[in-house]
Structure 1
Amino acid sequence: MSPCPEAAGAAADSIAAAARDASGPGTGAGMGRGIARADGCASGPRVRGGLTGKLRWLLLAVALPVLVTAVPPASGARPADTRAAAPQTVATAPAPAARHIPPASASLHVLFDEDLPPYSYKGKGAQPGARGIYPELAAEAFRRLGLAATMVPAPWARAMAELNHECAGEGGGERSGKISGERSGECVGGHAGRRIGACGLYVTAQRLLLHDFSAPLFEEHLHLVFPASATIPEALAGAGGVVPAGFDGTATAGAGGTPLAALRGMRLGVVRGWSYGDTLDAAREAGAFIAEEAGSEAQNLLKVAGGRLDGAIVTREGALWLRERLGLTSLVTMAPHPLAVLPVHLAFRRQDAQHHLLRDFDASIRDMKADGTYARIVERALNGQ
């Protein structure tokens, strides 16, 4: 829409008058003329004065864009602005405290003894993979943490080699084993983005130098199993009430002395690659008893039943489980008093820095104990379900 000639002229005169006022003193008539002409279209003849027509139109062409930009936009209009928008600070509520969850890209493999029922063993048929108390407790704990952990059954010596990131071919024998699917000569633990843990370890002085441990996951009671016809040493014959965790056989048990002393001179079956805790390991090294290695507790029980060993060091639940399933109930007997009571743990190599994961795992196990899940899993596993 174009302004009428009178208004255009008045606007031009007003602009010129304002410029003159700003630069110096002017006449009152000039100021009044500028104001009067800015009021609108004159009904009478135009009064020319001060500026020529062409100059007025030139000033009007310069002034109109300035006037247009000075008028605020209507509600809802968005004037164009090529300047970069100023950064906005968005207030956010503080995130709730949460357990530390490792990156999802870092795959997690947890190794278990493949032949230690009912604690852990390799399933068969329709239930392959790791089964037993430890794998099922660990799987539920990691599930609650939102982690897709793989439970891997393996020979125990091999599991320890993997935990320590030993490469295939470095140690020979059992200690050079690999997780299924890995190429020969590769160090499984050394693969980027993979974490290797082992579950079912006792804490020993040597392992404390190499590994970080969870809180106790379970307690294993180590007992001696004898042929049914044998006389049980007095130090091992009495139950002696509740035996506390950490008992290592060095405390006196009744009138028969210490359980550890009762082993002297015996030929006892042990499992290859196992530690039985610092005290029993030291007694073995010192020759307090003669250790004969086998591949599993089941093999040792069969040797005891056949009269080939004086006894075998076995876990309490393992002895009860195997004695029934191997049909050895009338052939072997278990000493009532334990040699040792040792907590078991989940462990990672210290260099892998899995402290946060271990603490979260501990918290998850505590939650499972509080809501009854822990007890249900243990009972189900002891029943072989």
Structure 2
Amino acid sequence: MFVRGGPFATPAPRAEVRPVSTAPPDADELSRRVGEFLAAHDPSATEPLEFLRARFDAGLAWVHYPEGLGGLGAPRALQPAVDRRFAKAGAPTNHPERNGIGLGMAAPTILAFGTEEQKRRLLRPLWTGEERWCQLFSEPGAGSDLAALATRAVRDGDRWIVNGQKVWTSMAHEARWAILVTRTDPDVPKHRGMTYFVCDMTAPGVEVRPLRQITGEAEFNEVFLTDVAIPDEHRLGEVGQGWQVSTTTLMNERVAIGGAATPRESGMIGVVASLWRDRPELRTPGLHDAVLRAWVETEAARLTGERLRQQLTAGQPGPEGSGAKLAFAKLNQEVSGLELELLGDEGLRYDDWTMRRPTEVDFTRRSPGYRYLRAKGNSIEGGTSEILRNIIAERVLGLPGEIRVDKDVAWKDLPK
């Protein structure tokens, strides 16, 4: 159990990690290790959490992470083969659909900027699903322009006192931890006065309020931070380094949203393609062209995402992730609208307007009306499509950047 105000402590005992050779394991060595692990941990006879903890300790969680942190220092490209082997054996999963922020955003940021103590305390229960994460970035006055944020963190000895408001916080009502970026120095330009923390969502002063969405649900929240005390050992990166740390998070977020590994005809296009095949009475010549065009564009985006993941094996995510996320948002909205066109009046039915507090976002097992409405948020969450186009224009195409008159102005002197 973590003791607030004290050092991070490991929440569960670890198995002894077997030393590995100085050379990273290759595909054959990883296959051997997976076989030995499954022989020693029968998925059908091992309690799921115990299995997941043991898999992490064996370095078979994120194989490209360092030894002792869920990996073996192997090439990242070998991860899919390891995952397929575990899936074929019927191994329990860590339900990534429920902790995408932790797995796709918090974990790579902690690995890049965390202390050894932070990595060893946080990564294991994050990967096993014991602790869920949320993201405290956006504010009512700082969404697309994250560097304009106003949430203040003031140092008080070996801790920081945080006051402010965050908004659009997915699954904050389920989260144990949050990645939090704050303003620690208002006397310097906005990008240089930010500091990044890990925030305990159970700490006194953290209040989570639901935001009802157009779907009728409240997966989003607004979070109020009132005199929240955060120990300095919960800081990620140096004081004032928050923008650099946040950029790592955001680049990984866009890859996680738009560049996730997916089989052919997964997601929304799979729903529409199945509908087209199973309901011939819905077909018209015009809709045939629309379905075919959407299928081709989705497949092109999927293959582009595969190429992006291959590039990631050689380094950190770059602006290519912005392109993948932009394409995902556009296609998801177009395809969900196409489904309603196919269904006609039938597509107007909606299953439940009761405000619920979901544990995950699910596009495939819900009604067409839900999918259509929820997809509207895709062009906002994870970076608005307008901002992503700017990133692509400047960092990929090399076009001139927008004029920024606030670049060298202290944050405190900016109009609020």
Q: What TM-score results when the alignment is normalised by the length of structure 2? A: 0.23
Higher relative contact order (CA 8 A, sep 6+): 1
Q: What TM-score results when the alignment is normalised by the length of structure 1? A: 0.24
Which is higher, the Rg of structure 1 or of structure 2? 1
Higher helix share: 2
